[in-house]
Amino acid sequence: MGCGACCIAPSIHAPMPNMPQGKKAGERCLNLSDDNLCQLFGLPERPGFCGVFQAEESVCGSSQVEAIQLIGWLESATAV
């Protein structure tokens, strides 16, 4: 079972399967499985943002709840 916070908290502006307009911050990606794993992992359709995201404690904390809070804060702090 994965965390999935990086597929929920940030906005993703690139089109992807099932979400041609991308996704809004806080919206669960439709490509996230029930086990919170990316169903696009390793596929060329996976957005570039997802491929370069590095899950580490400084960004994700120690739980899914903390990760959603931290990534959400980073999203709002860097929004234009």
Residue 12 is given by DSSP the state: B
Task: Please give the pLDDT value at position 78.
Answer: 84
pTM of the model: 0.86
Model pLDDT, residue 71? 92
Residues 6+ apart with CB under 8 A from 32: 4, 7, 8, 38, 39
In tens, the pLDDT along 27-52 reads: 999 999 999 999 999 999 999 989 89
Rounded Cα gap, residues 69 and 12, in angstroms: 17
> CA angle 8-13-16, nearest 5°?
80
Give domain limits for the chain: 5-78
Residue 54's pLDDT band, with cuts at 50, 70 and 90, is: confident
The per-residue pLDDT of the chain, averaged, comes to 92
Judge contact between 56 and 3, C-beta under 8 A.
no
User: Which of 7-11, 35-39, 51-55 shows the lowest per-residue confidence on average (mean pLDDT)?
Assistant: 51-55
